């Protein structure tokens, strides 16, 4: 029996009923739905809105349903309209008329808002743990490779020498910001909407504060219209997940071209690579490619949510049922990608010799030659011009800058002397960049200390 069928004299069209039903996907909210209903029933009994005996029977019945679902003893009815009607119908079948009192003082509108907020909070916690794992892996890899020199790029052209540790810590910073975005999202999801009713609260003497405490929310929603029609917290979560996926995709793009023969910087573990059905020599970075591809799924969920919400008048509209599949899909994709990426990058083998050799090409020490001139009193603009001519000469003669003779240097500018050679070694180029945030080992030591303290804070906050 439908929860809303009293005034309807005609059965819902079979196709329309299937189209309308959400049990196929919102069944994953069963734990949130039952937990919220238990707190609601306890409040109804405490407030004398329903008999305490009925409240106790409801709580006992709901606990039994939860246990049976989790053990597999109770299967979801595919004919149910949604998870809310399934739980309530099952409750009534178990305890009788007392179960019909459960929905007193609430609507499915504030019920589903509660379920979704509880779900978002739980998923933020799980995804945050995955991010913390990745941050730890990146930090350990960076410390291992703090002295391994590689080329840094702009426009995918060799620019200046850095270290692999420095490069990895750039991604540490990205995922650190992602962690912060999720924490911010959780704050705004942590508001308890139950008691908002369909849109205008309720005439019953409910105790929202009691329910808030029982369910572990930080605060109550402050406007019943907004509480049932707000899905900002869903959009914010998927937005944060989209940025996480963007960062994963950027890193995967680098992993993909690093693993080519042209670069040869990295080799995937056999556990995270595949081969070709026809070419026996191939070792393909399929996991990285799949993560890059799956990023579009999460973006699609975000665009779907924004588009679904953009024209909805207050308060609840059935369009909002579309929030669930978008959120569920984005959450599942991001969690899987984070777990796979973490294992993939931790098990990869970096070819540090190839990186060092590559860093020596492409005139990545040209900036340091210009900086040397500035330190001799030449203006930067003149130094830039002189060094540009020096690079042009080196290119025309097919020689790296550091292999030019002093006479060749002086032919470009009389300012050059023997000390230029010490200033433009690849090692010197890196070690001289000791400003905070730079690749020099002294600067990296500061970065590691800061990162370790950040991770300790995360651990304490979770502990």
Q: Is the per-residue pLDDT at 264 higher than 90? A: yes
The 10s digit of each residue's pLDDT in 129-175 is 999 999 999 999 999 999 999 999 999 999 999 999 999 999 999 99
Once rounded to an integer, what is the mean pLDDT over residues 271-287?
A: 90
Rounded to whole angstroms, what are the CA distances from 227 to 192, 224, 297? 8, 5, 28
Distance in angstroms (rounded) separating the CA atoms of residues 171 and 145:
14
Residue tagged active-site, from 155, 277, 311, 461: 155
Q: How confident is the model at residue 463 (pLDDT cuts 50, 70, 90)?
A: low
Distance in angstroms (rounded) separating the CA atoms of residues 155 and 202:
60
Q: Where are the domains of the chain?
A: 20-104, 109-151+159-353, 359-462
Q: Which CATH architecture has domain 20-104?
A: Orthogonal Bundle (1.10)
Q: How confident is the model at residue 12 (pLDDT cuts 50, 70, 90)?
A: low
Once rounded to an integer, what is the mean pLDDT over residues 209-230?
A: 98
Q: Is the per-residue pLDDT at 377 higher than 50? A: yes
- Cα of 314 vs its chain's centroid, Å: 30
| Nearest Cα to Cα of residue 111 among 178, 171, 51, 22 | 22
User: Which CATH code for domain 109-151+159-353?
Assistant: 1.20.200.10
Residue 20 designated active-site:
no
Query: What's the pLDDT score for residue 16?
Result: 65
Contact 159, 358 (CB under 8 A): no
Q: Which CATH architecture has domain 359-462?
A: Orthogonal Bundle (1.10)
Residue tagged active-site, from 18, 276, 419, 442: 276
Query: What's the pLDDT score for residue 399?
Result: 94
The 10s digit of each residue's pLDDT in 173-211 is 999 999 999 999 999 999 999 999 999 999 999 999 999
Q: Residue with structure tokens 């970096």? A: 350
Query: What's the pLDDT score for residue 459?
Result: 87
Q: How confident is the model at residue 462 (pLDDT cuts 50, 70, 90)?
A: confident
Distance in angstroms (rounded) separating the CA atoms of residues 366 and 369:
5
Q: Report the percent of the chain where pLDDT is more than 70.
A: 96
Q: Is the per-residue pLDDT at 104 higher than 90? A: yes
Query: What's the pLDDT score for residue 277?
Result: 85
Specify burial of residue 270 (Cβ count, 10 A radius: 0-12, 13-18, 19+): exposed
Distance in angstroms (rounded) separating the CA atoms of residues 347 and 264:
16
Mean pLDDT of the chain: 95
Query: What's the pLDDT score for residue 4?
Result: 47
Once rounded to an integer, what is the mean pLDDT over residues 401-427?
A: 96
Once rounded to an integer, what is the mean pLDDT over residues 239-251?
A: 98
Q: Is the per-residue pLDDT at 6 higher than 70? A: no
Q: How confident is the model at residue 3 (pLDDT cuts 50, 70, 90)?
A: low
- Distance between terminal CA atoms of the chain? 46
């Amino acid at each position: 029996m439908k929860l809303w069928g009293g005034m309807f004299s005609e059965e819902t069209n079979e196709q329309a009923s299937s189209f309308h039903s959400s049990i196929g996907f919102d069944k994953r909210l069963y734990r949130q739905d039952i937990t919220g209903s238990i707190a609601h029933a306890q409040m109804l009994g405490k407030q004398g809105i329903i008999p305490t005996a009925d409240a106790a029977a409801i709580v006992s019945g709901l606990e039994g349903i939860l246990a049976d679902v989790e053990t597999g003893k109770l299967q979801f009815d595919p004919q149910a309209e949604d998870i809310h009607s399934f739980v309530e119908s099952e409750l009534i079948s178990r305890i009788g008329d007392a179960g019909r009192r459960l929905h007193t003082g609430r609507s499915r509108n504030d019920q589903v808002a509660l379920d979704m907020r509880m779900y978002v909070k739980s998923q933020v916690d799980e995804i945050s743990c995955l991010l913390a794992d990745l941050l730890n892996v990146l930090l350990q890899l960076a410390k291992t490779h703090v002295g391994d020199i590689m080329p840094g790029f702009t426009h995918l052209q060799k620019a200046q020498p850095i270290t692999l540790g420095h490069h990895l810590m750039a991604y540490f910073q990205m995922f650190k910001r992602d962690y912060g975005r999720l924490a911010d999202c959780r704050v705004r999801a942590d508001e308890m909407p139950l008691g908002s009713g369909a849109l205008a609260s309720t005439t019953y003497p409910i105790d929202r504060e009691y329910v808030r405490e029982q369910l572990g929310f930080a605060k109550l929603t402050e406007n019943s219209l907004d509480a049932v029609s707000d899905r900002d917290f869903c959009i914010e979560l998927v937005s944060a997940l989209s940025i996480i996926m963007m960062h994963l995709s950027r890193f995967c793009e680098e992993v993909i071209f690093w693993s080519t023969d042209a670069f040869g910087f990295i080799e995937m573990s056999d556990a995270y690579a595949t081969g070709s059905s026809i070419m026996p020599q191939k070792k393909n970075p399929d996991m990285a490619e799949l993560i890059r591809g799956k990023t579009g799924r999460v973006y699609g969920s975000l665009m779907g949510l924004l588009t679904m919400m953009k024209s909805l008048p207050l308060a609840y509209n059935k369009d909002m049922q579309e929030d669930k599949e978008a959120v569920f899909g984005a959450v599942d994709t991001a969690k899987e990608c984070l777990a796979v990426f973490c294992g993939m990058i931790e098990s990869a083998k970096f070819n540090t010799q190839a990186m060092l050799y590559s860093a020596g090409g492409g005139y990545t020490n040209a900036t340091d030659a210009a900086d040397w001139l500035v330190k001799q009193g030449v203006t930067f603009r003149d130094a830039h011009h002189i060094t540009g001519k020096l690079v042009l000469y080196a290119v025309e003669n097919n020689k790296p800058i550091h292999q030019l003779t002093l006479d060749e240097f002086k032919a470009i500018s009389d300012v050059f002397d023997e000390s230029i050679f010490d200033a433009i070694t690849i090692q010197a180029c890196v070690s001289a960049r000791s400003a905070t945030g730079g690749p020099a080992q002294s600067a990296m030591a500061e970065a590691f200390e800061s990162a370790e303290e950040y991770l300790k804070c995360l651990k304490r906050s979770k502990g």
